[in-house]
Amino acid sequence: MTPTALHLDAVTVRFAALTAVDRVSMTVRRGERWAVIGPNGAGKTTLFRTISGEVLPSSGRITLLDHDVTRKPAYRRAHRGLGRTYQITNLFSELSVVENVAIAALGRTRSRFRSWWPLRMERDVSRRAREALEQVHLAHRHDTPVAELSHGEQRHLEIAVALAADPAVLLLDEPAAGLSSSERMLMRRLITELPRELTVVLIEHDMNLALELVEHVVCMDNGETIATGSPDEIRANERVQAVYLKSD
Amino acid sequence: MSLTTKVKLGLLATGIAAGVALPYLTSPFIIGIVTLALVFGLFAMSIDVLAGFGGLVTVGQAGIFAVAAYGVGYTATHLDGGHVLQVAVGLAAGIAISVIFAIMAMRTSGVYFLMVTLAQGMIVWGLAYRLAPITGAENGLRGILRPPAVSAYWTYYYLVLAIVALAGGLLWIVTRSPVGLALRGLRDGEDRLRMLGYNTAFHKAYVFVLSGLFATIAGILYVYLNQFISPAASEFATSGHGLLMAILGGTGTLVGPLIGAFVIVFAENMLSTYVERWTTLLGAVFVITILFARGGLVGMLSQAWPRVLARFGHPAASGDAGAGSPPGAALDGTAHATSNPHGITTEDDQRSSR
**Set of chain A residues whose Cβ sits within 8 Å of the Cβ of B2:** none
So what's the pLDDT on residue B315?
64
Which CATH code is given to the segment(s) B3-343? 1.10.3470
The residues near A181 (Cβ < 8 Å, ≥ 6 apart) are none
Nearest-CB residue to A103 (from B174, B191, B196) = B196
Q: What is the distance in angstroms between the Cα of A245 and the nearest Cα belonging to chain B?
A: 35
Q: A38 or B275: which carries more pLDDT confidence?
A: A38
Q: What is the distance in angstroms between the Cα of A228 and the nearest Cα belonging to chain B?
A: 28
**Set of chain B residues whose Cβ sits within 8 Å of the Cβ of A74:** 194-195
The structure's pTM equals 0.88
**Set of chain A residues whose Cβ sits within 8 Å of the Cβ of B342:** 99, 102, 118-120
C-beta of residue B45 within 8 angstroms of C-beta of residue B102: no
- DSSP class of residue A3? P
Cα–Cα distance for residue pair B63/B125, rounded to 1 Å: 7
pLDDT at B341 over 70: no
- Please tell me which residue of chain A has the smallest CA distance to B197: A75
Cα distances (angstroms) measured from residue A33 to each of A27, A176, A202: 11, 16, 8
Q: Phi and psi (nearest 5°) for B341?
A: -65, -25
**Set of chain B residues whose Cβ sits within 8 Å of the Cβ of A116:** 170, 173-174, 177
**pLDDT tens per residue across span A195-224:** 999 999 999 888 888 889 999 999 999 999
So what's the pLDDT on residue B186?
93
**pLDDT tens per residue across span B290-320:** 888 888 999 888 888 888 888 877 766 554 4
Cα–Cα distance for residue pair B346/A133, rounded to 1 Å: 10
Determine the straight-line distance between the first and last CA of chain B, rounded to whole angstroms: 15
C-beta atoms surrounding B43 within 10 Å? 30
So what's the pLDDT on residue B133?
94
Preferred mutation among A75, A116, A171, A173 to probe B, highest tally of B CBs within 10 A: A75
CB contact under 8 A, B197 and A107: yes
**pLDDT tens per residue across span B130-139:** 999 999 999 9
So what's the pLDDT on residue B177?
93
So what's the pLDDT on residue B345?
58
Cα–Cα distance for residue pair A62/A71, rounded to 1 Å: 9
**pLDDT tens per residue across span B146-169:** 999 999 999 999 999 999 999 999
Q: What is the mean pLDDT of residues A231-235?
A: 93
So what's the pLDDT on residue B247?
94
Q: What is the distance in angstroms between the Cα of B328 and the nearest Cα belonging to chain A?
A: 13
So what's the pLDDT on residue B340?
59
Q: What is the mean pLDDT of residues A118-128?
A: 86
- Of B201, B211, B202, B205, which is closest to residue B174 (Cα–Cα)? B211
Calculate helix-pair angle for B61-77, B110-130, nearest 10 degrees.
20
Interface pTM, i.e. ipTM: 0.91
- Of A114, A219, A93, A229, which is closest to residue A158 (Cα–Cα)? A93
| SS3 state of residue B140 | coil
CB contact under 8 A, A119 and B195: no
**pLDDT tens per residue across span A61-83:** 999 999 999 999 999 999 999 99
So what's the pLDDT on residue B354?
42
CB contact under 8 A, B199 and A130: no
**Set of chain B residues whose Cβ sits within 8 Å of the Cβ of A54:** 191, 195
Cα–Cα distance for residue pair A234/A211, rounded to 1 Å: 9
C-beta of residue A137 within 8 angstroms of C-beta of residue A51: no
pLDDT at B100 over 50: yes
Most confident of A120-129, A189-198, B115-124: B115-124
C-beta of residue B253 within 8 angstroms of C-beta of residue B332: yes
Q: CATH for A1-81+168-182+197-248, among 3.40.50.2300, 3.40.50.300, 3.80.10.10, 1.20.1560.10?
A: 3.40.50.300
Q: Where in chain A is the domain with CATH 3.40.50.300?
A: 1-81+168-182+197-248
Cα–Cα distance for residue pair B313/B71, rounded to 1 Å: 56
**Could you state, in order of their start, the residue ranges of all structural domains in chain B?**
3-343
**Set of chain A residues whose Cβ sits within 8 Å of the Cβ of B195:** 52, 54, 74-75, 78, 83-84
**pLDDT tens per residue across span A7-23:** 999 999 999 999 999 99
Interface residue ranges in chain B relative to chain A, Cβ cutoff 8 Å: 170, 173-174, 176-182, 184-185, 187-189, 191-200, 203, 206, 210, 322-326, 336, 339-340, 342-348
Question: CA angle A91-A96-A97, nearest 5°?
Answer: 70
User: How many residue pairs bridge chain A and chain B with CB atoms within 8 Å of each other?
Assistant: 151
So what's the pLDDT on residue B337?
39
Q: What is the distance in angstroms between the Cα of A103 and the nearest Cα belonging to chain B?
A: 7
- Of B78, B79, B70, which is closest to residue B128 (Cα–Cα)? B70
- Please tell me which residue of chain A has the smallest CA distance to B202: A113
C-beta of residue B140 within 8 angstroms of C-beta of residue B128: no
**Set of chain A residues whose Cβ sits within 8 Å of the Cβ of B198:** 75, 107, 112
DSSP sequence for B55-72: ----S-HHHHHHHHHHHH
Cα–Cα distance for residue pair B340/B66, rounded to 1 Å: 37
The alpha helices in chain B, defined as continuous H runs, are 3-25, 28-48, 61-77, 83-105, 110-130, 132-135, 153-175, 178-188, 190-195, 200-226, 236-249, 255-266, 272-274, 278-292, 296-311, 347-353
**Set of chain B residues whose Cβ sits within 8 Å of the Cβ of A146:** none
C-beta atoms surrounding B268 within 10 Å? 17
